[in-house]
Amino acid sequence: MITIIEIGITSQDNLQKMEVEKLHKYDLLASEIGLLHSAKVQIVPIVLTLDAITTKFYPKYCQKLKLPDKIKSYIQSVILRATYQSMNTKYKFGLTNSVGKDTTDTLCVDTTDVRTPRANMSQSGNKRQRLE
């Protein structure tokens, strides 16, 4: 048995849609792999929202994979931690570049960190600004 696991993170509005898309996305690949290796192939889409909400099929997929509760909890905690860090960076520190646009996709480093070549950040008050 060959298992294809696809993990996706989406908004609550797109949760069901993304799960179906993940199944269809790998359907052809699963068929080809099954023919090439003369094996049964299963597709397991694990889709969560940014606040760790799952689809009604999530328990079924976890059962297929024989995931213990610790692993399921870990997956959800990673999602929640990533969401928190994203929100924390964006709102708490007020990251903006010199034009005033949002720069949450840019790595914010301390100017005293000599290990990174991107130490061209300056600190102004409580806000960090990227120097262009």
Is-above-0.85 flag for pTM?
Answer: no
**C-alpha 94: how far from chain center:** 22
Q: Which two tokens stand for residue 102?
A: 């949002």
Give the pLDDT confidence of 24-44 residue by residue, as tens digits. 888 888 899 899 999 898 888
Contact 59, 46 (CB under 8 A): no
Contact 92, 128 (CB under 8 A): no
Domain boundaries, the chain: 2-95
Q: What pLDDT is stored for residue 91 in this prediction?
A: 63
Neighbouring residues of 91: CB distance < 8 A, sequence distance ≥ 6: none
